[in-house]
């Protein structure tokens, strides 16, 4: 399974939590983890240790030269958020399919059926959250000038048909779209994806592959009460912690807070143990030296 992330140093722990949850809950024998980054991540040693312990191939991709220098960025949407749009340019030519994942996800059931989805004839496969929001598909189609799109898709879980993308996605089209719509982009990279390629995306059920963790009650209402907590734990594969409130931040009290903290703790426990032992060794050495001087 080829996984793709695009993160800065602020999301390394979260990315490793995603991968750990996949390893625990999916029928996958081998993972290649491609990570697009603007410079070598400061926590690279932590990533390598995690990957060694979990038999994951870590494949860092350093992007030199900021092709999105003029693109809109915010604290939630840094330059790295755009790089998934040019993944086909950065990834090795022999990689013909990859699953891009945001770092604010949790896998709680098997995602292999998602990875094995047939997307011949499509560029991408993704989920729409349109049913859950007040923003309609019609408004987004008009705003982004792509009335042929079936829906407005969330770009946080994106299965990529790289063979088709390499033949159909021109970087210049992306740069031109950014320039021509720079005052019209609300969710920058996601708007670009939908504006240019929304009509070439295979629609997937979000209650399975991209469950918006903020919208529990909405899902239950849509399903006439069927998609409750028990149903989610049995059927949903990916929980997506959309929005500003995140389960790793203090003060988060969402329904899946404890579940996320459990996986995060398990994913990083060996790293914390090793560092605690190193700190203890340093303190003991310092104490012994001071005692000797006395």
CATH number at residue 242: 3.90.550.10
Domain containing 208 equals 2-267
- 104 DSSP β-pair partners: none
Contact indicator for 111, 208 with CB cutoff of 8 Å: no
Residue 57 within any structural domain of the chain? yes
Asked whether residue 190 is assigned to any structural domain, the reply reads: yes
Instruction: Report the predicted TM-score, pTM, of the whole model to 2 decimal places.
Output: 0.87
Distance CA 9, CA 40 (A): 9
Mean pLDDT of 206-220: 96
Please report whether residue 277 resides in a domain. no
Conformational region of residue 27, where left means phi above 0, alpha means psi within -120 to 50, and beta covers everything else: beta
Q: Has residue 133 been placed in a domain?
A: yes
pLDDT of 135 reads 54
Fill in the DSSP letter of residue 86.
G
Helix (H) or strand (E) holding 268: helix 257-293
Helix axes 257-293, 44-54, angle to 10 degrees: 110
Residue 135 and residue 211 in contact, taking contact as beta carbons nearer than 8 Å: no
Please report how the helices 171-180 and 188-197 are oriented relative to each other, as an axis angle in degrees rounded to 10: 120
pLDDT at 283 over 50: no
Please state, in angstroms and rounded to a whole number, the distance separating the CA atoms of residues 101 and 26.
15
pLDDT digits (tens, 9 = 90+) for 186-197: 777 888 899 899
DSSP 283: H
Q: 45-84: b or e for each residue (b if 16 or more CB lie within 10 Å)?
A: ebbebbbeebebebbebebeeebbeebbeeeebbbbbbbb
Predicted confidence at residue 287, as pLDDT, reads 45
Number of domains composing the chain = 1
Instruction: Flag whether 91 is in a domain.
Output: yes
As a whole number of Å, the CA-based R_g of the chain is: 21
Task: Round to whole Å and give the CA distance between 200 and 119.
Answer: 10
- Say if 294 falls within a structural domain: no
In-domain check, residue 194: yes
Higher-confidence residue of 54 and 283: namely 54
Q: Is residue 278 part of a domain?
A: no
The per-residue pLDDT for range 100-150, each reduced to its tens digit, is 999 999 999 999 999 999 999 999 999 998 877 655 555 555 555 555 567
For residue 224, report the phi and psi dihedrals to the nearest 5 degrees. 55, 40
Which token pair is 41?
């991540």
């Amino acid at each position: 399974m080829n996984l793709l992330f695009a993160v800065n140093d602020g999301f390394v722990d979260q990315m490793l939590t995603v991968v750990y949850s996949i390893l625990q809950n999916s029928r996958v024998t081998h993972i290649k983890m491609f990570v697009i980054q603007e410079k070598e991540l400061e926590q690279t040693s932590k990533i390598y240790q995690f990957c060694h312990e979990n038999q994951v191939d870590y494949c860092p991709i350093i992007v030199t030269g900021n092709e999105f220098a003029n693109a809109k960025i915010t604290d939630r949407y840094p330059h790295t958020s755009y790089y998934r749009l040019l993944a086909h340019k950065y990834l090795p030519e022999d990689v013909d399919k990859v699953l891009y994942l945001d770092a604010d996800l949790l896998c709680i059931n098997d995602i292999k059926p998602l990875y094995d989805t047939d997307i011949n004839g499509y560029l991408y496969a993704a989920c729409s959250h349109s049913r859950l929001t007040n923003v309609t598909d019609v408004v987004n189609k008009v705003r982004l000038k792509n009335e042929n799109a079936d829906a407005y898709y969330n770009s946080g879980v994106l299965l990529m048909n790289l063979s088709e993308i390499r033949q159909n996605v021109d970087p210049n089209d992306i740069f031109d779209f950014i320039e021509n719509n720079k005052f019209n982009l609300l969710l920058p990279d996601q708007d670009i994806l939908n504006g240019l390629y929304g009509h070439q995306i295979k629609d997937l059920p979000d209650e399975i592959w991209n469950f918006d963790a903020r919208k529990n009650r909405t899902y239950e209402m849509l399903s006439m009460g069927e998609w409750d907590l028990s149903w989610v734990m049995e059927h949903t594969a990916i929980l997506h912690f959309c929005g500003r409130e995140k389960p790793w931040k203090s003060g988060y009290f969402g329904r899946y807070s404890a579940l996320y903290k459990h996986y995060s703790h398990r994913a990083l426990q060996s790293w914390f143990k090793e560092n605690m032992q190193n700190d203890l060794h340093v303190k003991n050495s310092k104490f012994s030296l001071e005692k000797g001087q006395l």
